[in-house]
A and B are shown apart, each in its own frame.
Chain A
Amino acid sequence: MSRQLSMLLFLLAATVFAAEPETVNPQVTLVVRGSAPPTPEQLGKVELPIDLRVAAAPNAGLTLPAPDATAQEQISAARKSYINADFNKCLEQVADDSAMTKALAEADRTSAARVLLWRVACNVGAGKLEVARRSANQLAVFGLPVPAEVGSVSPEVEAVIAKGYQDASLAKPLPLVITSSEDGAEVQLDGRTTGCTTPCTLDVLEGSHVIRLTADGSTAAHKLVRAEPPKAEVKVELSAASPTLAAQQWTHRYAQSAEVEGSRSVRLLATALRTSRLVLLTVEDGPSPRTKALLAVDGRVTARTEREGALSTELNGLLTDLLTRGNILEPTPPLYKRPLFWVAIVLAAGAAAGITAGVLVRDVQTSVVLK
């Protein structure tokens, strides 16, 4: 009987294990804030079907791009040519918009203004008054301050510039609709912040404008656009930030921010850490420790939870709860869906049948002797 029972158990176990597909545990990156990261011993107590990787929060300083020297070089060369009355050569230095555009994109409005000043001066010197007027008008349209160098140019140039500002002041603004491939990008217009985030509309004067968009998780982009009545539109394509840039952006914007658990912060952090499944734990130490946790999948927050108690004791339960809510882990199946439950039921039924049979058909051996 025991042999048959062993065979039955073997067959049941073989069936159960054969039906169990081989699975690869999902990789989850864990970042802990406000406390030391879990020790290897604490991590060893995490008995979950996941590949848990602990990562430090980024702490990268924001690397600002070096100022473009092209504008300065052009200005210097143009000034020298202007003084030498070589206006054509002067114009060769400042006729191109690229240096001015770049300066405005980098919020270097002074350099942009100086480029335009010398463009006006060189055109006046070359007798191209119409072009000079347009450049002077552009200076006003950009809303740039008149550079101090205006004192070193001829009064005629000053007059053209003054006229440009006067014309601009009389012009009627027109709407410029700004959109981007990723909504929510901050808009900079002609080197000045606007407080506008895409999609949005700004009132601008007719003429050229430099639009620069910055957004978390994206590389900054700028565009020189021409605004003409009755309405202008511009769409700027943003490219995804590299993990290095994302780490810099996160450190700069969110590392010490109260919005560190916000969706933008988490998305940026996931990009910075190159992970598709991120768990961010925020530990609040003190007399009554508390741990808040969130799970982000592909940059989107899919689950949040929190627990009272020390991280060392709550880590396993916290992760179980969080990952189950976020559908990374299968919720514990009901009892009747577990194979072992049915194995136990079959065995119990067999045992019950055996006992019943044993009771009903009890084999009694009675020996009979003479008294």
Chain B
Amino acid sequence: MKMLAAMLVFVLATGCSQREVKLTLGDVGEGLDGFVCKDDKGQYLLERLVLPDGGTQQACLVTDFVDLQGVPGCRTGQLVAWCATHDCKPIPSTRVTTPITLPTGVAGMTRRQARDLVHTQFKKLSDTPFTSDAPPQFVMARMMATAQPCSEIATKPDGTLPKFEASKLVGCAYSCPTLFDQIQQDVYLGFDTLENDCAHGVATCADNALKWAP
């Protein structure tokens, strides 16, 4: 009987386990390249946080876990190609919105300088929890910054997700497809781009279906 009791305790004890996974943007913020993209006019998207009267506003940092319906490759092209044929979509219940102050007035700075400033702001969010129970399947973690108010972009009461306004997107970073329940390391968020004019990539990243936005 004692043995049975011990087994039951074991079952109950092992029925659920708690773990924590950290999202990282790189030691020096190298994952923040998607937050220092410029638009077709050569302006940093960060400048979208400047109000018409010259003032600035806070951005809303939106974190989603995107269900990819499978395990595609990690590069942008692979992800876009995968989602062209799969029903990729953020899981509404996992969306978290967090106000964040991002730098403005960075027009004359290099991407590196601007990224360092962005990094400094992100460091202030260190240890901010995004979910207490990550989805049990392979998902992509996505972090968007938008000039839209958080109240506007948060999950609606009916469980649907509002679309991002492309003109208010500020930046993006995302992870490889990851099984959070099993991964043994920090999950790196980054953005594949080799040039300044990556606003188009940010728009694609912001698309709820990760469709290529022409």
Contact = CB atoms under 8 A, between A and B. Distances in A.
Q: Do A and B truly interact?
A: yes
A301 B147 CA distance: 104
B127 interface: yes
A87 to B, nearest CB: 99
A367 B133 contact: yes
Interface string A337-371: 00000001001100110110011001111111111
A1 B132 CA distance: 24
Given A358-B15, A362-B15, A369 B4 contact: no
Given A5-B8, A355-B7, A355-B10, A364 B23 contact: no
A365 B23 contact: no
Contact of B14 (A1, A348, A362, A365): A362
B212 interface: no
Nearest to B188: A371
Contacts of A364: 16-17, 19, 136, 181-182
Interface residues of B, number: 37
B21 interface: yes
Contact of B127 (A1, A347, A351, A369): A369
B19 A365 contact: yes
B125 to A, nearest CB: 5
Query: Looking at A344, A359, A369, which has the most chain B CB atoms within 10 Å of its CB?
Result: A369
Contacts, number: 93
B135 to A, nearest CB: 9
A369 B98 CA distance: 13
A145 to B, nearest CB: 85
Contacts of B25: 370-371
Contacts of B4: 344, 347-348, 351
B133 A365 contact: yes
Given A351-B8, A354-B8, A355-B7, A363 B141 contact: no
Contacts of A344: 1, 4
Contact of A368 (B125, B180, B182): B180
A365 B132 contact: yes
A206 to B, nearest CB: 85
Nearest to B7: A351
B122 interface: yes
Interface string B3-14: 010011011101
A370 B127 contact: yes
Contacts of B125: 370
Interface in B140-196: 141, 180-182, 186-187
A365 B17 contact: yes
Contact of A370 (B11, B128, B132, B134): B128
B22 A371 contact: yes
Contacts of B187: 368
A355 B122 CA distance: 43
B23 A355 contact: no
B126 A371 contact: yes
B11 to A, nearest CB: 4
Contact of A369 (B8, B10, B15, B23): B23
Contacts of A367: 18-21, 129, 131-134
A229 to B, nearest CB: 85
Interface string A315-357: 0000000000000000000000000000010011001101100
Given A368-B23, A369-B130, A370-B22, A363 B11 contact: no
B104 interface: no
B132 to A, nearest CB: 5
B76 interface: no
Contacts of B141: 368
B56 interface: no
B19 A366 contact: yes
A358 B181 CA distance: 15
Contacts of B22: 368-371
A155 B122 CA distance: 158
A160 B211 CA distance: 153
A201 B206 CA distance: 125
B11 A366 contact: no
A370 B131 CA distance: 10
Contact of A363 (B1, B10, B16, B129): B16
A166 B26 CA distance: 146
Report which residue of A355, A363, A367 has the largest number of chain B beta carbons within 10 angstroms of its beta carbon: A367
Nearest to A353: B11
A9 to B, nearest CB: 10
Interface of A: 1-2, 5, 344, 347-348, 351-352, 354-355, 358-359, 362-371
Given A366-B133, A366-B181, A368-B22, 14 more contacts: A347-B4, A354-B11, A358-B11, A358-B15, A362-B15, A363-B16, A364-B182, A366-B19, A366-B21, A367-B134, A368-B134, A368-B141, A370-B23, A371-B24
17 contacts: A1-B12, A2-B12, A352-B7, A354-B8, A355-B14, A362-B17, A363-B17, A365-B19, A367-B132, A368-B141, A369-B20, A369-B21, A370-B122, A370-B127, A370-B128, A370-B130, A371-B22
The 9 tightest CB contacts between A and B, nearest first, are A371-B22, A366-B134, A364-B181, A351-B7, A371-B24, A354-B11, A363-B16, A366-B180, A367-B132
Interface of B: 1, 4, 7-8, 10-12, 14-25, 122, 125-134, 136, 141, 180-182, 186-187
